[in-house]
């Protein structure tokens, strides 16, 4: 086994297929499993050993920034003492919902209003200018407007598509920001927002996978399972079933994989069923799961 593969696996940088291959190799090799287990433990501990910045650092930076702004003598907007990313996420969510409401309003109301307004204005203009020449003007102007009107639906559709794209990007940013939050409740909120996304970007899916594999809170991991089920990321869930040691997480994964009819989970289920160290209820659920999936084969 290549050393790079081991570190890439521990750093969660292996592509999905290679990761599954590596886990299969690990399952068949006790020495490798032990080595990876030990390295993984040290790697996790290292993350906990990261001290945070304190208020004194914040204060000195913002003082420095104020001084620098004074030196540059440019008109600047007053800076808040510090940025609160939690608040930023909340504001972004509000902005996203306003854009959404605006979009919904546009979609339901705009076409009839545009047609009616133009119909009311045009006749008054043509009759007020010059009666004898009216037929020519009338014939020309509405034609122009008609062309414009014919062109407007694609333009509106384009605007809507752009708005929709912006809204999706904002939502994704909010999700990514919340998933990185130190508070478990914020991460749970992020997962709940993620579940509501339609076809999220790969970066969001990757963040969900990372949360499932690395988050310390079991509740957060359970929500991550739910989010990944929504996007039908079966392989990752199967991989997590082979790794997990928490009975509640194992049971949730089994139920989820059964709902997804993931036959590829059979080896992992079999392993759980046969492992004497696994919780009895999990072994039973694994047994039932195997039966259920085999019936469909």
Partner 1 sequence: MTDEQAMLLVTEGNTDQAAILYERYKKSLLNFFVYRYVPYETARDLTQQVFWRLLRYRNTYKAGTVFKTWIYEIARNVWHDYTKQNPELTELSELTNVGDAFDETTDQNEQLHVALAQLPQTYREVLLMSRFQDMSYDEIGETLGLSVANVKVRVFRAMQQLRDIYFKLDKA
Give the Cα separation of 59 and 286 in Å (integer): 55
Closer to partner 1 at the Cβ: 53 or 113?
53
Number of residues forming the site for partner 1 (CB under 8 A): 38
Give the Cα separation of 79 and 98 in Å (integer): 25
Closer to partner 1 at the Cβ: 75 or 154?
75
Least gap, CB of 56 to partner 1 (angstroms) = 6
CA torsion 238→242→247→252, rounded to 10°?
0
- Out of 17, 30, 50, 108, point to the residue binding partner 1 (CB under 8 A): 50
H-assigned helices in the chain: 3-10, 16-27, 30-48, 55-72, 85-129, 134-179, 184-195, 202-214, 218-230, 234-243, 247-259, 266-274, 280-296
Least gap, CB of 42 to partner 1 (angstroms) = 5
- Out of 52, 113, 131, 297, point to the residue binding partner 1 (CB under 8 A): 52
Least gap, CB of 10 to partner 1 (angstroms) = 7
Give the Cα separation of 20 and 35 in Å (integer): 18
Give the Cα separation of 44 and 215 in Å (integer): 11
Q: At what angle do helices 218-230 and 202-214 cross, to 10 degrees?
A: 150
Collapsing DSSP to helix, strand or coil, 89 comes out as helix
Q: Which stretch binds partner 1 (CB under 8 A): 45-53, 142-150, 161-169, 189-197?
A: 45-53
Task: Check binding of 31 to partner 1 (CB under 8 A).
Answer: no
Task: Check binding of 182 to partner 1 (CB under 8 A).
Answer: no
Task: Check binding of 3 to partner 1 (CB under 8 A).
Answer: yes
Least gap, CB of 3 to partner 1 (angstroms) = 4
x/- contact string, 62-81, with partner 1 (CB under 8 A)?
x-xx--xx--x-x-xx-x--
Residues in contact with partner 1 by CB under 8 A are 3-4, 6-7, 10-11, 38-39, 42-43, 45-54, 56-58, 60-62, 64-65, 68-69, 72, 74, 76-77, 79, 82-83, 85
């Amino acid at each position: 086994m290549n050393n790079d593969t081991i570190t890439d696996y521990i750093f969660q940088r292996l592509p999905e297929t290679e990761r599954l291959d590596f886990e299969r190799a690990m399952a068949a090799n006790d020495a490798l499993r032990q080595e990876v287990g030990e390295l993984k433990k040290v790697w996790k501990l290292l993350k906990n050993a990261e001290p945070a910045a304190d208020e004194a650092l914040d204060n000195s930076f913002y003082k420095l920034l104020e001084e620098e702004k004074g030196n540059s003598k440019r008109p600047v907007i007053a800076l808040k003492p510090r940025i609160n990313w939690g608040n930023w996420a909340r504001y972004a969510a509000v902005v996203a919902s306003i854009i959404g409401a605006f979009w919904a309003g546009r979609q339901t109301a705009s076409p009839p209003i545009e047609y009616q307004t133009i119909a009311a204005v045009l006749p008054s203009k043509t009759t007020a200018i010059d009666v004898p020449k009216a037929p020519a003007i009338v014939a020309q102007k509405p034609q122009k407007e008609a062309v414009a009107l014919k062109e407007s639906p694609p333009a509106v559709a384009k605007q809507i598509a752009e708005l929709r794209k912006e809204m999706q990007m904002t939502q994704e940013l909010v999700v990514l920001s919340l998933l990185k939050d130190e508070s478990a409740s914020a991460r749970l909120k992020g997962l709940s927002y993620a579940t509501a996304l339609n076809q999220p970007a790969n970066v969001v899916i990757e963040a969900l996978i990372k949360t499932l594999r690395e988050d310390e809170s079991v509740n957060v991991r359970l929500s991550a399972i739910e989010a990944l089920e929504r996007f039908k990321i079966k392989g990752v869930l199967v991989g997590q079933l082979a790794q997990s040691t928490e009975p509640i997480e194992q049971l949730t994964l089994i139920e989820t994989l059964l709902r997804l009819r993931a036959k590829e989970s059979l080896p992992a289920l079999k392993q759980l069923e046969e492992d004497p160290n696994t919780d009895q209820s999990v072994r039973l659920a694994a047994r039932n799961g195997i039966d259920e999936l085999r019936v469909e084969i």
